[in-house]
Amino acid sequence: MGMISEFKSFAMKGNLVDMAVGVVMGAAFGTVVKSFIDDVFMPAISPIMGGIDVGAWAITMPGGEDAAVINIGTFINATISFIIVAFVMFMIIKAMNKAKKKEEAAPAAPPAQEVLLAEIRDLLKK
């Protein structure tokens, strides 16, 4: 029973749940970025590149019908998607760190009881 309750407390910790939500949101964001690259960005730059479909670039290795195909265009699309996701994550973390610094910079006011005790101490010294 101890192991089950220990696992339950581990699984229900806020950090683990937050991390799970972040992973799910990151996967969803990655899907949106992939669709943006494949369906919007690459077709939009195709006319600029003379009508070339970068996503379809491939190298077929020699070997007849069973020849291996190296999909360079798919790799380029994945690389662009990664750069966009990495940049957005960088901006999010940068904003979080900036907000965290503001929280740390403002010291908390001492409790009213401590202020009152400090005033009594000062009066007793006089």
Task: For residue range 54-69, list pLDDT tens digits in order.
Answer: 888 899 998 888 889 9
Query: What pLDDT score does 109 carry?
Result: 77
What are the CA-CA distances from residue 96 to residues 14, 23, 80, 90, 109 (Å)? 18, 17, 24, 10, 24
Q: List the domains of the chain with CATH numbers.
A: 2-125 (1.10.1200.120)
Task: For residue range 6-51, list pLDDT tens digits in order.
Answer: 887 777 776 777 788 888 988 998 899 889 888 888 888 888 888 8
